[in-house]
Amino acid sequence: MSLLRGHILGILLAGVIVPVALSACGTAPAPAPPVERKRDTAVDMSDKVQSLERQLRERDKRIEELESQLEALKLIDQEHEKQRKPIRPPTTLESTQ
């Protein structure tokens, strides 16, 4: 009896799985032609390259500005240090003997 039940269950499952699998074959979208994809990819890559080049130019410009500001701050700091430490003659300690 259980052998017959297993056989019937197997037939029913196969009857459900096979049609579902076959129906899925027709629903898959057709792939786009490779030539159009290559063009789109080339255009996308070109746009990305141009964007990255623009970002690099902006970054380099910003670095130059920051370096210029840093040099100005260094000069200001040097002038401040000169004013803060006036040159004094050396002092001598007298012994207390």
In a domain, 17, yes or no: no
In a domain, 10, yes or no: no
Please state the φ and ψ torsions of residue 91, each to the nearest 5 degrees: -100, 150
Determine the average pLDDT of the residues in 46-72. 96
Determine the average pLDDT of the residues in 27-32. 62
Domain total of the chain: 1
In a domain, 27, yes or no: no
In a domain, 32, yes or no: no
In a domain, 60, yes or no: yes
Evaluate if residue 96 carries a pLDDT over 70.
no
Supply the mean pLDDT for the chain.
Answer: 78
Enter the tokens of residue 83: 């004013």
In a domain, 69, yes or no: yes
Enter the tokens of residue 86: 């006036």
Query: Which residue range forms the structural domain that includes residue 68?
Result: 39-83
Using CA atoms of 78, 81, 82, 84 in order, give the dihedral in degrees to the nearest 10.
Answer: 160
Enter the tokens of residue 25: 């074959």
Evaluate if residue 45 carries a pLDDT over 70.
yes
In a domain, 3, yes or no: no
**Residue 68 vs residue 22, higher pLDDT:** 68
Give the global pTM: 0.44
Would you call 24 helix, strand, or coil by DSSP? helix
**Residue 70 vs residue 25, higher pLDDT:** 70
Would you call 93 helix, strand, or coil by DSSP? coil
In a domain, 49, yes or no: yes
Determine the average pLDDT of the residues in 82-95. 71
